[in-house]
Structures are given as C-alpha cells and as structure tokens.
Amino acid sequence: MKRFWLVLLSLGLVLAFSAQAFAVDVKFSGSFYAAGMYLDKTTLSNRTNGSDNVSTAFYYQRLRVQTDFIVSPGLKLVTRFDAMERAWGAARKEAAYGALSTASAKDSYGTIAENENIAFDWAYIEYASPIGTLSAGIMNDGSTGTIFGNSYAPAGRIKYSLPIGAFTINTAYTKSIDNSSTAKTPATTTDADSDKYGIEGVYAWKGGKAGINVNYYRKADKKPASNHYLAKYFLLTPYVIAKIGPVDIQAELNWASGKAKEYDSATLGNDQTMDEMSGWIDATVTFNPVYFGATFAYVSGDDPTTSDRKEGGDIDGGRDWNPTLIMFNYYDRYFWAGPLAGWDAASDVGTMGTTSSTTSTAPGAWFAQGRVGVKPIAALDIMASLSYAQADKKPLGVSNSTYGYEIDVTGTYKITNNLSYMMGVGYWFVGDYYKGSSNTNAVQNDYMLINKLTLTF
C-alpha cells in the first residue's frame, strides 16, 4: 500500500510541475466617461424659413475595459471591450435608424448597435521572447508616431518588435478587408482583399524619440463589380517627439505615393497616380504655472482639375487628434452630435482635411492654433485657444476656401488621481466655405458647451 501511495504521490507531483497554468494573473484597466453637450446649431447654413435654427442637448457615456490574462512571464492574452456607448434615454440605433445598426463603428470591431450594448474590439496574444515580441490577433491599428494623422481602428494583425539597444525595429502585417469566399460569406471573385505591410525604425533617448514608418498598401477590394481597379501605394511617415528644456516639440510628416487606381485594362478606365501629403509641428513651452503653445498643420487637398492625379482624400488629420471643440473634433462633437452641414452639401466630417461638398470630398486644410494655459494649482488646468483653418483646394462650384475661426476655453480639474472633470465652451466663427456655390448664401456661427466626468482605472 505504501508503494502504491508513493507512486501515486510521485505521479501527482510530476503532473503538477509539468502542467501549464491557465492564468496565473489577471489585470484590468480601462475608463468610463459620462458627458453632457449643448450645441447651439445643428447646421451651418442659415435659411430664411428658419429650418436651420435647431439646437441639441443630451448626455452620453461609454465604458471601456481592457483585460490582460498573464499566462506566464512574457506571455499574455489581451482583450478589450466597449459597453453602453449611448446617449441617455435615446432610442437604440436599430429601432431608430434601421440599416445604420449594422454599420461598423469607426474605432470598433463591432457595429454601432453592438457598441450600445457591448462589443469586443481586441483579442490577441502577445509573447515577449528573448529575440523580440510577437503579437497576433485583432488589435489596435492606425496609430504611428505622434497623435496627428492617427485614426485608431481594430484590425487583424501580426506584429513583431525587436529592440537593439536604443533602437527598435517594428514590423507588421494587417488584414484590413477580406473578401475571400468562406462558409459565412460566399464569393465568386478572387484577389479582392485589402492588406497593409509595415516596417518602422525608432530611436529613443532620454527626453524623446524619433522614427520613420513605411507602410505599403495593396487594396484590391475595388476590383470586383463595376470598379475593376487596384490601389497600391507607399505611405512614408517620419516623426520626432522631444523635450528641450521647457519646450515640448512634436512633428510629423506623411507622404503617400503610388497608384490610387490601376485598372485591369485601359478599356475599363484611366489609371490615377497618388501624391498626397500631410504634416504638423506642435510646440508647448512651460513656465510654471503658465504655458504657451502653437500648432501648425497641413493636409493636401485633391485638385478637381487633375483627373489623372489624386492629391488628397486618403490621409487627413486623423480621428484621434481633436485640436478644437467644434471645427475638428471627431470623438465628442461629430461622433455624438453628427456633421454640421452648410450649403450645397458642404459639410464637415469631424477630421481636418476631409470636409465634403457636392463635387469633392477632399479639399484638404491649412490649420493654425495659438493657446495659453495656466495651472494655478496642481489639480487644475485652464486653457484658451484661437484656431484658424482654410481649405487647401477649392472644390468645383465652391466660391470660398475659409473654414473659419474658433475660440475655445476649457478647464480640467483632477478630483483624484483617477477621476477628472472637464468643462469647455467653444465658439466657431463659420467661414464662407460653407456658403457653397454662391456668396449670397447665408451661414451662421455656432457654439458648444460640454462637460465630462472621466474615470480611469
């Protein structure tokens, strides 16, 4: 009997020491915000019949939770979901907007309707080995260098990072669109996917970093049906983030070059080359408790007179960069209150450089901002800014290029290390661009009030 128990105990110890741990640790992080907004006008045109004098006021919220399952040192499963992303008391999307309930949210792997309940955005493995870090699954895509030009969106990716002293080499393959025939989505075409291949080199030092990222895009999703063209181009992005004494500097350049349209044959259409550019430089100098800042940004517009060239429309200021409260603010004003339309379908879509019109969707933009802030106590930050923007290219039929001026004042109070409260007011002196095809069309200025309570954990 003793031998039996000894053998049984030995087998148990062998199994215990050789078994894989299911999850030795679980870490949670995330954020929750609840906000209220008042927008004085929901359109920029000003018709005599009074149909444009409509305001809106509502509360909205979102919960975001990231969970890291630490399987072993250097190996983890990362997941993230968004939940209850909706306006208080508002009708659900599927009930009020029909087909929009199945539309994908820009920054989610789920639909708009799913995010009003719960939608998982991330699920990927990250393995940090002695020869680099490998990640595979659905994860963040669309963010490089500085915040300018970034439009975060989850995508299926394989990433590999290799640190070499102060240098880091990052490589990535991204599956943006897959139109292959599967059991769930049968198809009768091949070679209709959209893929991205990237390599980045980063050098870091105390107080800053600099890098260059090169992405190659091959978009064949327009080849089926009546389009019959392929897009393939490179996007080159050098950037720098540095602190020099009291000055914080950020700069980035984006240049896209290649083929915007390459048809299978000349009988199907004329090829179109791509030559687009965007960039910014941002500086903030701090003399406690006061700081001063300035931003200059540019997004090239598409020239409506050059049908064989595409100079704008694929790159812009990005959804993640929100320098103003109204004019270029995607995640609060546009996402929750919607676009602000002028005459002749001249309308903004929340990001710099993609204001649309009847005849063009990419006029581009020049943007300049000056700001001043003060931190009278460590927990309080009050900032005022003056911004100006105009179109780089005037679409056909649009008489003017000025988007306008905007004055913003915001105050953020840090209640605790994890809880903050923000209040802001913005006033937009709307430019003549939104008069559309006639200078006699009247436009109206707009203002917005916003307050937001944000919890991070």
CATH classification of the domain holding 119: 2.40.160
Q: What average pLDDT score do residues 318-342 get? A: 93
Write down the pLDDT at residue 259: 95
The string of DSSP codes covering 429-453 is EE-GGGGTT-TTS-B--EEEEEEEE
Other beta carbons less than 10 A from residue 92's beta carbon: 13
How much of the chain exceeds pLDDT 70, in percent? Answer: 90
**430 within domain boundaries:** yes
pLDDT tens-digit readout, 190-211: 888 899 999 999 999 999 999 9
Write down the pLDDT at residue 13: 35
7 has pLDDT over 50: no
CA–CA gap between residue 446 and residue 355 (Å, rounded) = 17
1 has pLDDT over 50: no
70 has pLDDT over 90: yes
445 has pLDDT over 80: yes
Write down the pLDDT at residue 265: 79
Write down the pLDDT at residue 318: 94
**224 within domain boundaries:** no
How much of the chain exceeds pLDDT 90, in percent? Answer: 68
171 has pLDDT over 70: yes
Residues contacting residue 406 through CB under 8 Å, at least 6 positions apart: 324, 325, 326, 327, 386, 387, 388, 426, 427, 428, 429
Other beta carbons less than 10 A from residue 300's beta carbon: 27
Q: What average pLDDT score do residues 339-356 get? A: 78
**201 within domain boundaries:** no
**2 within domain boundaries:** no
Q: Which one, of 172, 219, 217, 216, lies nearest residue 191 by Cα?
A: 219
**104 within domain boundaries:** yes
pTM of the model: 0.88
**13 within domain boundaries:** no
Q: What average pLDDT score do residues 310-315 get? A: 92
What 8-state DSSP symbol labels residue 337? I
Write down the pLDDT at residue 22: 52
**232 within domain boundaries:** no
Omega before residue 154 within 30° of 0, cis: no
Q: What average pLDDT score do residues 357-384 get? A: 89
Domain count, the chain: 1
Omega before residue 289 within 30° of 0, cis: yes
Task: Domain of residue 39: give its range.
Answer: 23-156+243-456
CA–CA gap between residue 252 and residue 398 (Å, rounded) = 30
What 8-state DSSP symbol labels residue 105? P
Among 103-112, 296-305, 323-332, the minimum mean pLDDT is found in: 103-112
Residue with more model confidence, 90 or 223: 90
Residue pair 359/397 in contact by the 8 Å Cβ criterion: yes
Q: Give ∠ CA 394-396-402 in degrees, rounded to 5.
A: 25
Helix H or strand E segment including 3:
helix 2-18
Q: Which one, of 395, 318, 314, 323, lies nearest residue 351 by Cα?
A: 318
**200 within domain boundaries:** no
CA–CA gap between residue 140 and residue 165 (Å, rounded) = 25
Where residue 213 falls among pLDDT bands split at 50, 70, 90?
A: very high
pLDDT tens-digit readout, 263-284: 987 778 889 999 999 999 999 9
Q: Give ∠ CA 298-236-296 in degrees, rounded to 5.
A: 20
**Distances from the Cα of 445 to the Cα of 40, 81, 338, 403, 456, angstroms:** 9, 38, 16, 11, 35
Other beta carbons less than 10 A from residue 146's beta carbon: 20
Among 218-227, 242-251, 424-433, the minimum mean pLDDT is found in: 218-227
Residues contacting residue 262 through CB under 8 Å, at least 6 positions apart: 229, 230, 231, 232, 271
Write down the pLDDT at residue 355: 66
100 has pLDDT over 70: no
28 has pLDDT over 80: yes
Q: What average pLDDT score do residues 343-356 get? A: 75
Report the chain's mean pLDDT, rounded to a whole number: 89
Write down the pLDDT at residue 396: 72
Where residue 6 falls among pLDDT bands split at 50, 70, 90?
A: very low
Give Cα 150 distance to the centre of its chain: 5
147 has pLDDT over 90: yes
CA–CA gap between residue 328 and residue 349 (Å, rounded) = 8
What 8-state DSSP symbol labels residue 208? E
Write down the pLDDT at residue 431: 93
Q: Which one, of 247, 235, 172, lies nearest residue 208 by Cα?
A: 247
Report how far apart the first and last C-alpha atoms of the chain are (Å, whole number).
Answer: 55
Write down the pLDDT at residue 33: 98
CA–CA gap between residue 21 and residue 79 (Å, rounded) = 18
Write down the pLDDT at residue 361: 65
Write down the pLDDT at residue 292: 98
Q: What average pLDDT score do residues 367-387 get? A: 98
CA–CA gap between residue 326 and residue 350 (Å, rounded) = 8
3-state secondary structure of 113: helix
